[in-house]
Structure 1
Amino acid sequence: MFSNEEFQRFYRYCLALTRDPDQASDLLHDGLVKFLAKRARVTSEPGAYFRRILRNTFIDDYRAAVHSAGQLSFDENVTPLDVASELETTLVHADTVQRLLAQVGSTDRELLFLWAVEGYTMAEIAELTEVPRGTVLARLHRLKLRLRRLQAGTTVGGGR
């Protein structure tokens, strides 16, 4: 099915989403149960299908937790930007990414993880997350600005 290296990659993805090793393990387990139950539907890309299950399970769990808490916070002001391709080629050091992943919300952690750690392009991230490429570019632009302020020691709100 999946190699040990692939499971480690999926676990790191879950960890980037949840920021908690126990929750990441639970998410990986729940996703695996769902994947095995629906395995007959998987055709050519089982890894992508499994990652989508993990992401959707995380979102469902998040929505359930928010709904039970009676709070909901979405950033409705997404403005697509026409950003040059240098966003896709900028390199970020792994230790910096890990430190910054702990300081942003789950949507931003997912974007940063897929872009900086896994090395996906903006088009690939848009396809994986089912978000328009322009929106992904806008989110990354805002995230980079926010992270610069965080590195400078400025308190910044936002992120999900």
Structure 2
Amino acid sequence: MAIFPFKPSKARRFEVLVQPHLEAMYRFAFRLAGQQQDAEDLVQDVIIKLYPRLDELEAVEQLRPWLNRVLYRQFIDQIRRKNRQVDRPLTELVGSESQVDWLDSLESDSAGPDFQLERARLGPVLDRVLATLTPDQRALLLLHDVDGWRQEYIAEVLDIPLGTVKSRLHRCRATLRKKLQRELEPIEPVGRVAE
């Protein structure tokens, strides 16, 4: 049974398919790109590429994961074209409007002065360490640990096996942990003992 009693225009059919997924696509693009303008451009590029392929789009059973996979591939292609690494502080990746909410969610019930001081000390260190990770590593950590995406969904979007997601996530966390330890516990240079 046809969804429409008449054949709507190509533009209307495309809009009906894609419109419900635009907000989720933008959020994903923002996590990948790190800036509002780059995320908007990324989503726009994907939409422009998909419009001529409406028939293929209509045949996709689960459109949201498929769209996110296309978005991710477009992002990777852009990085390869630019041949540079996108380094953004965590505060930019989270976004200024949601940053306060996200940081507040990390607060414990006993948020005394010691906790506040430690948090102020760790924030910039975490930003610096996250900036040293590759875009793929950062995206994986942020999607899973910050946004709460399930590993199965990440595997589907990135088009990699679930075991690969698990092992990459484990390696990313281990790398992050080592870098944080180096930043937070610097070893002072050993000098000669003065006589």
Give the TM bin, normalised by the shorter chain: 0.5 to 0.7
Residue of 21, 34, 51 corresponding to 1:19: 34
Residue of 44, 48, 52 corresponding to 1:29: 44
What is the number of residues matched between the two proteins?
127
- What secondary structure sits across from 1:51 in the alignment? helix
Unaligned runs of 5+ in 2: 1-15, 86-100, 107-125, 185-195
1:107 aligns with 2:136: yes
Matched-pair contact (CA < 8 Å) for 2:31–2:142:
yes
- What secondary structure sits across from 2:183 in the alignment? coil
Q: How far is 1:21 from its partner?
A: 1.8
- Where relative contact order (Cα < 8 A, 6+ residues apart) is larger, the structure is 1
Q: Who is 2:152 aligned against?
A: 123
1:137 aligns with 2:154: no
Q: Who is 1:59 aligned against?
A: 76
**1: CA distance, partners of 2:38 / 2:69:** 17
RMSD, aligned α-carbons = 3.0
Q: Who is 2:66 aligned against?
A: 49
Q: Who is 1:148 aligned against?
A: 177
Which string of whole-angstrom CA distances, capped at 9 and with x for unpartnered residues, describes residues 104-156 of structure 1? 4321232123323443332332222122222211211122223334555628x
Matched-pair contact (CA < 8 Å) for 1:14–1:24:
yes
Structure (1 or 2) with the larger CA radius of gyration: 2
**1: CA distance, partners of 2:172 / 2:147:** 17
**1: CA distance, partners of 2:25 / 2:68:** 7
Matched-pair contact (CA < 8 Å) for 1:19–1:102:
no
TM-score of the pair, normalised by structure 2: 0.54
- What secondary structure sits across from 2:155 in the alignment? helix
Quick one: percent identity of the two aligned structures? 27
Unaligned runs of 5+ in 1: 72-92, 156-160
Name the structure where helix makes up a greater proportion of residues. 2
Matched-pair contact (CA < 8 Å) for 2:144–2:150:
yes
**2: CA distance, partners of 1:121 / 1:142:** 17
- What secondary structure sits across from 1:38 in the alignment? helix
